[in-house]
Structure 1
Amino acid sequence: MTTSQAFLDRDLRRCHDLLNMANLFVAQKKFSSARSAIGALRANLELLAEKDAHFFRERLIALDVEHSRRSGHFLSDDKIIDLSLYRRQALDRRLATSSLANLKQAAGGQRRHTPAIAEDDRGNFIYRMPMPVDEVSTSDSLGMENLLQIWRQAQQSTGRRHGLPLLSDIDPKFIADIGMLGFVHVIDASSDDPGKFHVTMHGSRVTPFNGRNFSGRTLHDFPIPIYRESVATDYNTVRMTGVPAYHRVIATVDGSRRHYTRLLLPFSTDGNRPDRLLVGVRTDNWLPE
């Protein structure tokens, strides 16, 4: 499902981080920052083996097109972003200033959760267990708890109990600090048809279908019907409720078995209607292969 951080060398990891940071900036319409990240990525490709460099060049083509479409002009800024400036300690200091009690709000009460199970005649199988959001923990899903805290802080800053944060409220550098770059998707959920939800950014380290990246595609383009339908159902539930959701998933897709946790966080473009989703995905250590 994902590429483990431990098996990436420093240069390759940096390129993944820059690619995902650039995609997040484009999704947030922060085009100057996106140009900086893209310029940094181009500068770092020469440090990679040709096979790895080809992977990023293909994604840069799509990223250039999307950036130009949204911003109305082509890329020219080659300013380099120094990711080493953004340390986990800086984020920890910010989070430490907030009351942990305020961050641990209950989501969904104490009701019993029932798994959803789907399978087809081709051997594909998906088991999804909805979990209380407060059970997100760094021991199971590295970085996910901090991702939830960032969302809750942004939600609290709206000053309204049921207000939703804007996607632009989230600094991609924070996502880099907690090690989630490449494990986060951004979904445009403004359509009433979940099949037409648009994958604005697909995390480059999440590869459910033989390495395919679905940035710029819709959920309808996902190739396995039961996988497509389960994802659409979960995404649409968060869009309809405006409440975060957390799942543990066990799946066999195209003969590949994977297990992971998935955190769905609702965002808005107007502060009220949930029409954007930030999706965090992490391979688990709670279930052995």
Structure 2
Amino acid sequence: MGTATLEHDIRDHRLVETLRVWRKLCGTRFAPARHDIEPADFRQMLGRLALIDVVPGASGAARYRYRLMGTRLAAQDACDLTGKPLSEHPDAGQREIVQAAFDAACETRRPAYREDVRQDGARRHTYARLVLPLSDDGATVTGLLLARVVLNRAMS
């Protein structure tokens, strides 16, 4: 699925704008480099972004380490993973969902979008997650930019 088609599938205007900014930063490359990312370009998403390093594993499988986790994401997850690997996320179910989204973006070298319903205590929330590849070498995915918003909040 191309990013133009993906843009029509995304239900939140902030995520659409994030995709557009990322696409502009790509230029002729498949992904921008991490140093191309300027917080001011993503004003509408501050607090809802994370930067993730892709660390090649010994078995060839990628591992992920959060370079930065936005304050709203940390509050939603009830943990701040800044400087920590994804494997330290306390919720195994969410960890698997996030791992799959990160893997998809790395394997395809394209944005990955997903909506999930999550139970947080007595409330159910629908989240939308956009994972955008970054490449410092122009050939492989060396990082990820994660953007996540709550689409709706409903009582269960």
The TM-score range, normalised by the shorter chain, is 0.7 to 0.9
Question: Equivalent pairs: percent with the same residue?
Answer: 25
Structure 1: which 5+ residue stretches go unaligned? 1-105, 110-131
1:107 equivalent in structure 2: 2
What is the distance in 1 between the residues matched to 2:115 and 2:8?
Answer: 11
For 2:64, the aligned partner's letter is: F
1:272 equivalent in structure 2: 139
In 2 relative to 1, CA 280–168 (structure 1 residues): closer, same or farther, beyond 3 Å?
same
Check the 8 A contact 1:184/1:278 in 2, yes or no.
yes
Shift, 1:134, TM fit: 2.1
What is the distance in 2 between the residues matched to 1:150 and 1:258?
Answer: 26
Check the 8 A contact 1:141/1:283 in 2, yes or no.
no
For 2:132, the aligned partner's letter is: L
Larger radius of gyration: 1
* Count of residue pairs the alignment pairs up: 151
Shift, 1:214, TM fit: 1.1
Query: Scaled by the length of structure 2, what TM-score is found?
Result: 0.84
What is the distance in 2 between the residues matched to 1:237 and 1:199?
Answer: 17
What is the distance in 2 between the residues matched to 1:219 and 1:275?
Answer: 15
Point out which structure has higher relative CO (alpha carbons under 8 A, 6+ apart). Answer: 2
CA RMSD of aligned residues (A): 2.3
Counterpart secondary structure, 1:264: strand
Deviations 1:35-77 (A, max 9, x none): xxxxxxxxxxxxxxxxxxxxxxxxxxxxxxxxxxxxxxxxxxx
1:29 equivalent in structure 2: none
Check the 8 A contact 2:7/2:19 in 1, yes or no.
no
For 1:224, which of 91, 95, 99 is the aligned residue?
A: 91
For 1:147, the aligned partner's letter is: T
Shift, 1:223, TM fit: 1.2
Higher helix share: 1
Shift, 1:254, TM fit: 5.8
Counterpart secondary structure, 2:31: coil
Deviations 1:213-249 (A, max 9, x none): 1111111101122221221121111111101011111
What is the distance in 1 between the residues matched to 2:46 and 2:119?
Answer: 25
Higher strand share: 2
1:169-188, aligned counterparts within 5 Å? 169-176=36-43, 179-188=44-53
